[in-house]
Copies of this chain bind each other. A is one copy, B any other.
Amino acid sequence: MELADIQAAAGRITDHIHRTPLIHSQQLNRFCDSELYFKCENLQKVGAFKARGATNAVFAMAEDQVQAGVATHSSGNHAAALARAASLRGVAAHIVMPVNAPQVKKDATLAYGGRIVECEATLAARESTLEEVVAATGARVVHPYDNADVIAGQGTVGLELLEQLENMDVVVLPVGGGGLLAGVAVAVKSLCPGIEVVAAEPAGADDAFRSFGLGQLVPQTDPQTIADGLLTSLGQRNFPIIQRYVDSIVTVEEETIVRAMQLQWSRLKSVVEPSGAVSFAAVLDHPERFRGRRVGVVISGGNLDLSRFPW
């Protein structure tokens, strides 16, 4: 993974994604004694940065590679992102989802033109069903994060951030599978090695934190966090990139994730999903790392089931 891959991705996807805004709040800055600039990937197409990687992966394929369509197993933002990217390219997207996936997620995938293939709610069933889909259709699998084109696509968040924010001291972003983190770290460190790259992870799903500390990949077992986008294990392809380019990984408490969301909703008037608030939670839980500094805070997404709220 090199800067050139990310720059190529930026050119490839530019007509299909939003250049998301950078917003700030004087009140939050006073509250945190930092200069915080929030990169709003919750305002990205499909409501999350995942649109970038999926679009890059689909458009990077040669015509003969993509014509049988693409496939993945996911019930999250990657599913909607891949369905949308395939639709833009005019090919099929086969999305394997557990039967118990929330209707709101199925609807989003269908709205973007995806074809849902239901399976039982186990990882084994997901993987075997995906294999069957691939065997039957010839579709190419696009992994949600352990994929070079996906990583390069997510890295375009870093390129934009550098263009939008001068003299940034540090960038903080969530880590789940590590696609966003790896891509942004390569972009930022290649262009501005002096900028610190900090990853934030829920303490209840801290495989990246532990892997980074041990120097070897530790799989995620029994993760417990409200941040449902960060339940996955760090990817094989992602880990060495993160080891090379990321300065540190910090963990955040569940209550802080909720507080970060509330502050972002009330002060920024911006709907942020729990996973998307983990970066700001890191600023709240580790203020000494950010005090007096100019910080790029990546809001990774804004999709959550609002029907649970007592309207």
B residues near A306, Cβ cutoff 8 Å: 262, 265-266
B residues near A270, Cβ cutoff 8 Å: 269-271
B271 touches A266 (CB 8 A): yes
One of B27, B42, B262, B266 near A269 (C-beta < 8 A):
B42
Oligomeric state, in copies: 2
A265 touches B261 (CB 8 A): no
B residues near A258, Cβ cutoff 8 Å: 311
Known: A269-B47, A271-B265, A271-B270. A310 touches B310 (CB 8 A): yes
**In the complex, residue of chain B having the shortest beta-carbon distance to the beta carbon of A263:** B306
A302: Cβ under 8 A from any B Cβ: yes
What is the predominant secondary structure among interface residues of chain A facing chain B? helix
B310 touches A308 (CB 8 A): yes
User: How distant is the Cα of A271 from the Cα of B47 in the complex, in angstroms?
Assistant: 15
B271 touches A311 (CB 8 A): no
Interface size class of A (residues with CB under 8 A): 20 to 34
- Distance in Å from the Cβ of A111 to the closest Cβ of chain B? 8
B residues near A27, Cβ cutoff 8 Å: 111
- Distance in Å from the Cβ of A174 to the closest Cβ of chain B? 17
B residues near A111, Cβ cutoff 8 Å: 27
**In the complex, residue of chain B having the shortest beta-carbon distance to the beta carbon of A42:** B269
Interface string of A44-55 (1 = CB under 8 A from B): 000100000000
User: How distant is the Cα of A271 from the Cα of B302 in the complex, in angstroms?
Assistant: 11
**In the complex, residue of chain B having the shortest beta-carbon distance to the beta carbon of A302:** B269
User: How distant is the Cα of A303 from the Cα of B268 in the complex, in angstroms?
Assistant: 11
Interface string of A128-160 (1 = CB under 8 A from B): 000000000000000000000000000000000
Q: Among A42, A262, A265, A307, which residue has the most Cβ atoms of chain B within 10 A? A: A265
- Distance in Å from the Cβ of A279 to the closest Cβ of chain B? 16
Task: Return 20 A-B CB contacts under 8 Å, by A number.
Answer: A27-B111, A42-B269, A43-B269, A47-B269, A258-B311, A262-B306, A262-B311, A265-B271, A265-B306, A266-B271, A266-B306, A269-B270, A269-B272, A269-B302, A270-B270, A270-B271, A271-B271, A309-B309, A309-B310, A310-B310
